[in-house]
Structure 1
Amino acid sequence: MPNATKIAIIDDERDMRQSISQWLALSGYDTETFASAEDALRVLGPDYPGIVVTDIKMPGMGGMQFLKKLMSTDSSLPVIMITGHGDVPMAVEAMRLGAYDFLEKPFNPDRMNELAKKASHVRRMTLDSRALRRELSDGGQLMEKLIGSSPVMERLKEDILDLGQADGHVLIDGETGTGKTLVAHALHAVGARAGKRFVLVSCASLEEEALAKRLFGPVMPEDNYLPAVEEARGGTLVLEDIETLSDASQARLLSFVNDEGTPPETRIVAISNLQDEGRTCEDALRADLFYRLAALRITVPPLRQRGEDILTIFTRFTEQFAADYGCEPPQVSAQEAAQLLQAPWPGNVRQLFNVAERAVLQSRRGSGTIVSLLMTDHQEMRPVMTTEGKPLKEYVEAFERMLIDNTMRRHRGSIAAVMDELCLPRRTLNEKMAKYGLQRADYI
């Protein structure tokens, strides 16, 4: 079906509501009908996954009163009103009260379909935005996205929880692709500003004049936005690539920071990528601004320092891509697990994400290996290796943990099925799960 959006159709005339339902169903919509507004209100909650088509003239609760009830529950719910001849002024009043649009009987079915398509798109955008806002305000969900239990990741999570409760500005640095923006989201979500605005500006993506206007204004009425320092008032302002700010913008930002006082009304989280270039953020910013922004500091660890987290993340990514592409995730051999652990990962988690997708795609075609994805042309197709070796025991244990974890996931916690596939006695499997901190309950 091209459109999965629900459409609630309310009309006291049975033939009319069935006619509208059949026409919209043929266009791919999931329709449900109601003979009265009272019946519909039992179903239409604030996050109803669709739109409403309702008649204005109905016995009992009329369309206008029905609209007011809907708007008081969810003011962004698109409601298309159907009106008879002579009721256009009433329909115009309905739009003033929040209706999406109206159709006058007899209406063109194509016009109905066009309105439904537009309203459904608006509804999907609204619900997606709500879901994102909820996720960004849910510190637990965001912390779960920081996958891994290596010492450096445990320390990072502790830093986020500690600094999230503090008031000072924060500098986040680290190599490209390590997840610095995700850390900024998490800092906001676990702190006192979780319910306030979270505004992100990429300093490197705008020309100097446009960036200054976006950050500080002035803006014209037709621009339809506030300067970032005003939009984020009381919340969190994240400045990506802070090191690209010009001297003039640094001066204006310092003035804003000084005016905020202590503790600041608006927290600034500055993100720097300069480690990649052999310089630091301190080199790029004026000293007084740097020390204000770096009152608190988090360095996100590179992937190569995260040990067997690499296998955990890779498995999570391949499972996600396999679900998206409708296939099974690739099986990782011991050699491939060792290669994944030894690769230097200059692009960090973002690079691992790309390798995981390519691994799923080539596995679906039945060709290629994970090792082949870790080869480089400039090294005569030899596997890339880090200079920091690990004891064989560590590779074996990391592979063993990944293998048991993957098998438990695949069999949804069935101990008998895992024992059978891995040819392990119950006691040995229990001992290894205890050793690697794997709990059966996590897979059921």
Structure 2
Amino acid sequence: MARAMKVAIVDDEADLRQSVSQWLALSGFDTETYASAEEALKAIGPDYPGIVVSDIRMPGMDGMALLKRFMSLDSGLPVIMITGHGDVPMAVEAMRLGAYDFLEKPFNPDRMTELAKKATQARRMTLDNRALRRELADGSMIMKKLIGASPAMERLREDILDLGQADSHVLIDGETGTGKTLVAHALHAVGPRAGKKFVTISCAAWTEDQLQAKLFGPVEEGGLPLVDEARGGTLCLEDVEALSHPLQSRLLTLINDQAVPPETRIIAICNQHAPDSTLEDVLRPDLFYRLGAMTILLPPLRTRGEDILTLFTRMSEQFAEEYGCEAPQVTAQEAAQLLQAPWPGNVRQLVNIAERAVLQNRRGSGSIASLLMADNEASGPALTTEGKPLKDYVEAFERMLIDNTMRRHKGSIVGVMEELCLPRRTLNEKMAKYSLQRADYV
């Protein structure tokens, strides 16, 4: 759910400060008031979770000086300036310095609310984008997104850590929806280039001429071609199989001209090739061997066993929080259906079904089985899955049930024992069997 955004009101006039605060509070904002610019500067720093409304004319440090200080601290902080009669030229100068907007006294309170809403929306987007960039630059955070305890996922995480440090070009292959772009980000984030640029482009999204200009130049409006923008960092080529032979040749020349280790690391992602062909069939051999010296093949979801239930639970919990409702409780029959589904769209399909299951649950109708059936009918002929012993289905459901109950009770052993009617010794044995640690839920 969207977090509450603050509005800091800075004005030396107590009456105006209080009236603006009361009006915005009635409009649903979380307000803070400061009697001077100096006082506000002590409390508001970079990544402040809100916006600022400040008068221009104040004793001591005035609003213009305060604006300059805020812009040097955080240029993405929206500051709305309040001006007196005749101060419009000063307000225009404030806009030039980075102010979000200005209001001239006496101002319409509704206009104040409208501006505050727009400014907080802009601030939320700025902070979300910053958080995403930090997350993508933080190897430990992004590795946590690679959810799953299956042997295939354990190997994938080990491969990412090994190849991330190797700093050579990498080729990523796998079925659609398996998370190849996330793995590319992870390779960059855990390696020596983590603090450098990560530049990505889909080779299938542009015509040959457009792609050549974007990659190698010339670029309109004085920008840099992507091979220059990514210099020293990582260039990620999605849909690398869509590169024409002339562009493959240009890319090979770029690779051959680099030293070892390369100045720019290239991560190539293949998103589509015929089932009976390989990447070696769609890329020219010399480019394939330069890119494919290190290869990661992502496992399809249908081979990952109980990871399917873990992923479904995590995704449905996230969507339930977003939509402000309860996550659906998965029955034993539904767990078996999730494990047996062919998942042609892999993790991307599972995320989609988890969201729709949450929305269905909010309405109090529908079932996970009906969603799976509709999805598989829409996707055409299904891939087959190998049968599993009944014991595997039972254990996967049992692990999911204990995991979900531990989450719900925030690690309270007593609460889990009571809900599942299990003696403590039995619960401890099962948690040890499924590698579930109480500390992970507290």
| Residue 316 of structure 1: aligned partner | 314
Whole-angstrom CA distance in 2 between matches of 1:387 and 1:322: 29
| Residue 388 of structure 1: how far off its partner (Å) | 1.6
User: Does the CA contact (< 8 Å) of 1:214 and 1:228 recur in 2?
Assistant: yes
1:267 paired to 2:269:
no
| Contact 2:341–2:385 under 8 Å retained in 1 | no
Q: Is the 8 A contact 1:4 1:28 kept in 2?
A: no
Give the Cα–Cα distance (whole angstroms) in 2 for the partners of residues 305 and 85 of structure 1. 70
Alpha-carbon distance in 2 for matches of 1:326, 1:118: 23
Partner of 2:422: 424
Residues 344 and 383 in structure 2, CA contact (< 8 A), matched pair in contact too: no
Compute the RMSD of aligned alpha carbons: 2.6
- Any idea what the Cα deviations from partners look like across 1:176-211, whole Å, max 9, x if unmatched? 010000101111111111111111111112222222
- The answer on whether the counterparts of 1:168 and 1:263 sit within 8 Å (CA) in structure 2 is yes
**1:204-257 per-position Cα deviation (integer Å, ceiling 9, x unaligned):** 122222222222221222xx7432212222111111110001122222222222
Partner residue, 1:395: 393
> Cα distance 1:438–1:3, how it changes in 2: closer, same or farther (>3 A)?
closer
| Cα distance change of structure 1 residues 273 and 425 upon mapping to structure 2, 3 Å threshold | same
1:233 alignment counterpart: 231
- Secondary structure, counterpart of 1:193 in structure 2: coil
| CA distance in structure 1 between the partners assigned to 2:375 and 2:305 by the alignment | 26
Query: 2:73 matched to which residue of 1?
Result: 73
Matched to 1:313, the amino acid is L
- Within the alignment, does 1:242 sit opposite 2:240 as a pair? yes
Aligned AA for 2:243? L
Q: For 1:288 and 1:393, how far apart are their aligned partners in 2?
A: 48
Q: Is there any run of 5+ residues in structure 1 with no aligned partner, and where? A: none
User: In the alignment, is the contact (CA less than 8 A) between 2:178 and 2:348 conserved in 1?
Assistant: yes
TM-score, with structure 1 as normaliser: 0.91
Amino acid in the other structure paired with 2:284: R
Which of 14-23 and 231-240 deviates more?
Answer: 14-23
Change (3 A) 1:355 1:111: closer
Q: Identity of paired residues, percent? A: 75
**CA distance in 2: counterparts of 1:217 and 1:335, whole angstroms:** 56
Give the corresponding residue for 1:33: 33
Change (3 A) 1:285 1:237: same
Aligned residues: 439
Question: Following the alignment from structure 1 to structure 2, what is the Cα–Cα distance between the partners of residues 251 and 15?
Answer: 70
Q: 1:23 to 1:372 in 2, by over 3 A?
A: closer
Q: Output aligned runs, 1:125-136, within 5 Å.
A: 125-136=125-136
Aligned to 2:266, what secondary structure does the other structure show? Answer: strand
Cα offset for 1:111? 5.0
Pairing 1:199-348 to 2, within 5 Å after superposition: 199-221=199-221, 225-275=223-273, 277-348=275-346
Q: Which moved more, 1:227-236 or 1:251-260?
A: 251-260
Q: Which residue of 2 aligns with 1:355?
A: 353
Q: Which whole-Å CA distance do the structure 1 matches of 2:413 and 2:247 have between them?
A: 60
Shift of 1:4: 4.7
Aligned to 1:120: 120
SS at match of 1:270: strand
Structure 2 distance, partners of 1:58, 1:247, is 66
Which deviates the most, 61-70 or 370-379?
370-379
Residue 160 of structure 2 corresponds to 160
Is the contact made by 1:83 and 1:102 (CA closer than 8 Å) also made in structure 2?
yes
Deviations 1:76-99 (A, max 9, x none): 222233333454454444444433
1:37-64 deviations in whole A, cap 9, x for unaligned? 1111122110112222212221122223
Give the distance between the partners of 1:322 and 1:71, measured in 2 at CA.
37
Distance 1:68 1:287 in 2: 57
Amino acid at match of 2:373: M
- Quote the Cα distance in structure 2 between the aligned partners of 1:370 and 1:418: 25
CA distance, structure 2, for counterparts of residue 67 and residue 364 of structure 1: 45
Structure 1 CA distance for aligned equivalents of residues 288 and 35 of structure 2:
65
Amino acid at match of 2:143: M
Does 2:193 correspond to 1:193? yes
CA deviation vs aligned residue, 1:294-338 (integer Å, no higher than 9, x gap): 221111111111111111111111222222333322222222222
Displacement of 1:164: 0.8
- For residue 201 of structure 1, give the secondary structure of its aligned residue in structure 2: strand
Structure 1 counterpart SS, 2:57: coil
Judged with a 3 Å threshold, the aligned counterparts in structure 2 of structure 1 residues 75 and 413 are, in CA distance, closer, same or farther, namely same
Residues 302 and 385 of structure 2 are in contact (CA less than 8 Å); yes or no, is this contact kept in structure 1? Answer: no
SS in structure 1 opposite 2:152?
Answer: helix
- Contact 1:200 1:240 (8 Å CA) reproduced: yes
**5+ long unaligned stretches in structure 2:** none
CA pair 194-391 structure 1, distance change in 2 beyond 3 A? same
Name the structure 2 match of 1:410. Answer: 408
Contact 1:3 1:29 in 2 (8 A): no
- Which sits farther off after the overlay, 147-156 or 338-347? 338-347
Normalising by structure 2, report the TM-score: 0.91
AA aligned opposite 1:410: R
CA deviations on 1:131-160 (whole Å, 9 max, x unpaired) are: 111111111111111111111100000000
233-242 vs 389-398, which moves further: 389-398
Aligned amino acid, residue 180 of structure 2: K
| Secondary structure in structure 2 of the residue aligned to 1:274 | coil
> What SS does the corresponding residue of 1:298 show, helix, strand or coil?
strand
Matched-pair contact (CA < 8 Å) for 1:53–1:81: yes
* Cα deviation, residue 360, structure 1: 2.5
Offset, 1:276: 5.5
Letter in 2 for 1:67: L
Which deviates further from its counterpart, 6-15 or 363-372?
A: 363-372
